[in-house]
Amino acid sequence: MNITTNQDLIAQLEWRYAVKKFDSQKKISEQDWKAIEKSLLLTPSSYGLQPWKFILVQNPNLRAELTPISWNQSQVAECSHFLVFASKNQIDEAYISKFIALNASTRGMPPEKLAGYKKMMVADLVTGGRSKTISDWATRQCYIALGNLMTTVAVMGIDACPMEGIEPAKYDEVLNLLGSGYQTCVACAVGYRSAEDVSAKLVKVRFQSEEVFIRK
């Protein structure tokens, strides 16, 4: 890693691509993986509520079970680390109270001081209109984590392949998520590209800036 200029940073974002074939022999070091986990933990989320679980699947038998329910994509088995993002499907007052308690203890203040913050979250997510669409809301938060992950690993010079082409309901069964309050929303294979992955050489396809940005 040697990011000292804007150009260095952009070069890494240009370098990344959705890996089609990983080098199954090349593993992310423990130290790098720890940094990746830390960056995931630090992901910003709505109200700071972190409505997610990050499931790291390293068991080869489980990876083999997930492959056919992932459009048979080889990345599931071949990547160094396979992450599944599960989003919370309901927010109750207990969850918010737990978060408030964590907030108060982390910041060394009495939970009563956070009563207004708590009330606002309950009114929005537990009793308000958004309570009906918690899994959509939580899934969007997971996508912030996915975006953060892809940029973080690109900066580190580590490859990834985001995977929406999975069968979430079947993932939930295999990963034992049924009844857990969390459900699979997306996955991401992380590791190192194979030298044989021809897609690494393809030019990135992006609309022109003028087409994407509206200036007001």
Residues 21-60 contacting a second copy, CB under 8 A: 31-32, 34-35, 37-44, 46, 48, 50, 52-59
How many of the other CB atoms lie within 10 Å of CB of 105?
A: 10
Find the shortest distance in angstroms from Cβ 42 to a second copy.
4
Binding residue (CB under 8 A) for a second copy from 20, 69, 93, 143: 143
Find the shortest distance in angstroms from Cβ 24 to a second copy.
18
Q: Which two tokens mark 68? A: 């056919």
Binding residue (CB under 8 A) for a second copy from 69, 77, 126, 144: 144
Burial class (CB in 10 A: 0-12, 13-18, 19+), 104: middle
Binding residue (CB under 8 A) for a second copy from 70, 75, 80, 141: 141
Find the shortest distance in angstroms from Cβ 25 to a second copy.
22
Q: Which residues share a beta bridge with 87? A: 52, 183
Find the shortest distance in angstroms from Cβ 2 to a second copy.
5
Pick from 127, 125, 121, 147: which is nearest to 136 by CA?
125
Pick from 170, 193, 175: which is nearest to 75 by CA?
193
Find the shortest distance in angstroms from Cβ 170 to a second copy.
15
Of 79-138, which residues contact a second copy (CB under 8 A)?
86, 99, 102-103, 106-107, 136
- Give the total residue count for the chain: 216
Report the distance separating Cα 60 and Cα 23, nearest Å: 15
- What contacts 165, CB < 8 A, 6 or more positions away? 70, 71, 73
Site stretch for a second copy (CB under 8 A), options 20-28, 72-80, 148-156, 190-198: 148-156
Site stretch for a second copy (CB under 8 A), options 19-27, 72-80, 196-204: 196-204
Report the distance separating Cα 202 and Cα 83, nearest Å: 25
Considering the complex, state which of residue 195 and residue 206 has its C-beta at the smaller distance from a second copy: 206
Of 151-180, which residues contact a second copy (CB under 8 A)?
151-152, 155-156, 162, 164, 175
| 149 contacts 52 by C-beta, under 8 angstroms | no
